[in-house]
Structure 1
């Protein structure tokens, strides 16, 4: 005899609300500590900045209850905590810049871009009811991605800042189209690979014990490599070139599960990096800084010297294990301390302990994105979520690696922490897509009623016609729990 008990699956929204309040408390505490350390009083803008972030975060929570009630409950609180810490550090640097009669006001702009980013994320959650809809626009996304990459090269529209032509001017504002290209190219890669993965996974010749793909299937990775080199050459943007190529190789590996693609990608990247270092002076200068930053000749070289990297290393060393404390260090002596080198700023005032805590938050975000990719039932969603999670994780690795001289500097910014409107807007949209995919992954399958039973010859237990669990015999009562 079978007893069927219905239980409602937990959505996790209550857990999310508790974690969200803790995340907001972290940001407000950081703001308060900055004010108390620099002026002896709570910051004047604490209520506006902290209140704005709280309203935006709680509003997004309400939208999730309405439109994506089974979305992962950890993703939003982690992002809000990172965004709040970034706002506090940018405000702290504003205080130092004002004291030195330097340009300030970056915190106000960051709050404005945070609002725009959160509203864009809410718009994605409301408008996109099913992530699989994006698969219809696979080749449209490809065209859009290429157009976005080429926009900064258009005369009159593109702007060159600090030697890189990666911005476009929209009135008084600047925007990096390559940031938005991360999303549309991830959509294209996911749609293309889910269709072509059987061809890409076909066995080819075996060389030195490594199963290589067939020559005619090398086209996609060679095309991605060529596009990355074009971006590097014409826009002088090493970070974007590295990110796009790594994104495609990672998604290719997820789609085919073939290690040979990764090895081919590493070889192509190594060859391209060596070629760029010898052919283009700005790339070679970054390699010089990476290899010999403390050389007086390289340290004092203008432009392309190692002053910024060395000052960042000194700041990290000053922070030590526990840091100088909020508002007690001198992170403002590092150029671009609120954008490219905000990790060095946080490392100085929060120490190695605080920096590890921040990196663990990013690890949680990437892990939750990959968990959504594993749990979702369609191949397109798996590739899209894994690609977006990889983008966040890889960008963090590249930024931290550049600041600590593990790898050459690339010019990328830390997601959610660094000052920059384009990055903040696009990364909030990435969060919305991860939430949408995770909602599909965690949502219980709809009930379809009782399954028809087909008898088995020989007197055995009856089996549902769709291959489900056999009907229990009356002599062994069983309880079946159904989620609804």
Structure 2
């Protein structure tokens, strides 16, 4: 008969002895990189002013110092509340946010000049974007302070899931006065003088729900059904959750005319399901369902067919639906490899160049080299997030961290794929770059959660007096055990 497991000594967790303060936190590295990012942003502003034949003054230096001070506050909060967090995540975000502000300012100069020539009204976007950045950083501080342990989020997983679904469905359910159709998509809510995009916040809530659900119901997706051609298919009764997610994503595509959110929502679920089970068959089944839903929507709904036809040949309807993507392609061709230079191109010729098509504006003025460098910063940010997810000790943290990091890179793929005509055009904005408050607020919450997870992953669990606890049986331990079906 098996003997009971002997007690073992373990390091104190978050509620036990304090961690070893002698371990390096790399906060100095973070501050140095933030200063470097602020310097790049200041230099970019100077280039814009010089190429636009504006007078160079010391105010640009003060702008750069103010930007560094703003992120210096965020750095101080991370140093105090998440001292072991990854030192590269916040600088990457600061650089992306800064480059976005530079491009929005550069476009404001072009739009103001055009307004003077045509005697039209003009409202600058960069002051609003600075305000939204400040509010987003305040929200970042609040989340970092309140969520002291990411594992506490599992208590509210189903609540977050319900609220996320409600937020996702609200634009489709509410009348046009409150939820207007803007640029062909019904994804906004108008609240007085403010407009918000609830899908951005639903993304975070549903990520938390997916992670909590997959941790608690993992065995449901690990069970194998009938074997066909050497592949263990899922059991029919286990397809319920993925069918619900498929119905929701197709509903978003059909009723809100938003391919981007639909693709992002379903793609995140499939990746998290694969990470939880290591079964590729779930990804194959999910992609098959999504492609089937898109084919049905293409043949039934005119607006879906029009969007696909515009993607296939934007020049066939150049004066209307294809104008935006065609102008984007012209901008990329004008920029070439090296770009026209900051402030020396004509990115304002592309509609919505400061929001949905800001990557096209960057591609024109910074060229292939600049756009590739920007994508590398996004890749570095996602890789650091995935590294933290791999290193964290609990399964929920692994799934949540992996989902958050993938959400960032998936969003970038959808945005850049749309403006380069790789995939049909979507209404998703580039994280931290594009003008708009909803995206900034949601993505800074995402970054705060990533920092919290990375702090837990890198924090040394040492104490002067380790606690003695009974050893958990291996079948019940936190380590993920992958079930292999018998041949």
Q: TM-score, normalised by structure 2?
A: 0.88
User: 2:38, 2:65 within 8 Å by CA — same for their partners in 1?
Assistant: no
Q: How far apart are residue 44 of structure 1 and its match? A: 8.7
Q: What is the distance in 2 between the residues matched to 1:209 and 1:403? A: 40
Q: What is the distance in 2 between the residues matched to 1:45 and 1:235? A: 44
Residues 200-239 of structure 1 aligned to structure 2 (within 5 Å): 200-239=221-260
Cα distance change of structure 1 residues 438 and 169 upon mapping to structure 2, 3 Å threshold: same
User: 1:151, 1:157 within 8 Å by CA — same for their partners in 2?
Assistant: no
Aligned twin of 2:285: 264
| Count of aligned pairs | 446
Aligned twin of 1:15: 29
Secondary structure in 2 aligned to 1:108?
helix
Aligned twin of 1:95: 109
1:380 aligns with 2:401: no
Deviates further, 34-43 or 283-292: 34-43
User: 1:27, 1:85 within 8 Å by CA — same for their partners in 2?
Assistant: yes
Q: How far apart are residue 43 of structure 1 and its match? A: 6.9
Deviates further, 51-60 or 432-441: 51-60
Aligned twin of 1:455: none
Q: Deviations over 1:127-150 (max 9, x none)?
A: 110011100001101111111112
Q: What is the distance in 1 between the residues matched to 2:467 and 2:323? A: 71
Deviates further, 197-206 or 333-342: 197-206
Cα distance change of structure 1 residues 113 and 48 upon mapping to structure 2, 3 Å threshold: farther
Correspondence for 1:41 among 49, 55, 64: 55
Aligned twin of 2:461: 445
Residues 159-174 of structure 1 aligned to structure 2 (within 5 Å): 159-174=180-195
Correspondence for 1:85 among 99, 104, 114: 99
Aligned twin of 1:352: 368
Aligned twin of 2:153: 134
Q: Deviations over 1:30-78 (max 9, x none)?
A: 1111111113323797467534432221000000111000000000000
Structure 2, unpaired ranges of 5+:
1-19, 473-487
Q: Deviations over 1:246-272 (max 9, x none)?
A: 111111111111000000111011111
1:124 aligns with 2:138: no
Q: How far apart are residue 368 of structure 1 and its match? A: 0.7
Secondary structure in 1 aligned to 2:189?
strand
Q: What is the distance in 2 between the residues matched to 1:256 and 1:282? A: 37
Q: What is the distance in 2 between the residues matched to 1:191 and 1:466? A: 25
Higher relative contact order, structure no. (Cα contacts within 8 Å, ≥ 6 residues apart): 2
Q: What is the distance in 2 between the residues matched to 1:67 and 1:443? A: 12
1:154 aligns with 2:174: yes
Q: What is the distance in 2 between the residues matched to 1:235 and 1:255? A: 30
Cα distance change of structure 1 residues 44 and 91 upon mapping to structure 2, 3 Å threshold: farther
Aligned twin of 1:288: 309
Residues 321-470 of structure 1 aligned to structure 2 (within 5 Å): 321-447=337-463, 449=465
Structure 1, unpaired ranges of 5+:
1-5, 453-464, 468-484
Q: How far apart are residue 384 of structure 1 and its match? A: 0.6
Deviates further, 24-33 or 185-194: 24-33
Q: What is the distance in 1 between the residues matched to 2:92 and 2:271? A: 24
Aligned twin of 1:25: 39
Cα distance change of structure 1 residues 169 and 448 upon mapping to structure 2, 3 Å threshold: same
Cα distance change of structure 1 residues 157 and 10 upon mapping to structure 2, 3 Å threshold: same
User: 1:70, 1:438 within 8 Å by CA — same for their partners in 2?
Assistant: yes
Aligned twin of 1:68: 82
Q: What is the distance in 2 between the residues matched to 1:235 and 1:45? A: 44
Cα distance change of structure 1 residues 446 and 310 upon mapping to structure 2, 3 Å threshold: same
- Structural RMSD (CA): 2.0
Cα distance change of structure 1 residues 44 and 209 upon mapping to structure 2, 3 Å threshold: farther
Q: What is the distance in 1 between the residues matched to 2:454 and 2:215? A: 19
Q: What is the distance in 1 between the residues matched to 2:67 and 2:370? A: 22
Aligned twin of 1:241: 262
Q: TM-score, normalised by structure 1?
A: 0.89
1:252 aligns with 2:273: yes
Q: How far apart are residue 239 of structure 1 and its match? A: 1.1
User: 2:41, 2:98 within 8 Å by CA — same for their partners in 1?
Assistant: yes
Q: How far apart are residue 466 of structure 1 and its match? A: 7.1
Cα distance change of structure 1 residues 350 and 43 upon mapping to structure 2, 3 Å threshold: farther
> Computing the radius of gyration over CA atoms, which structure comes out larger, 1 or 2?
1
User: 2:185, 2:427 within 8 Å by CA — same for their partners in 1?
Assistant: no
Secondary structure in 1 aligned to 2:186?
strand
Q: How far apart are residue 7 of structure 1 and its match? A: 8.7
User: 1:35, 1:43 within 8 Å by CA — same for their partners in 2?
Assistant: no
Deviates further, 310-319 or 153-162: 153-162
Q: What is the distance in 2 between the residues matched to 1:214 and 1:66? A: 48
User: 1:323, 1:348 within 8 Å by CA — same for their partners in 2?
Assistant: yes
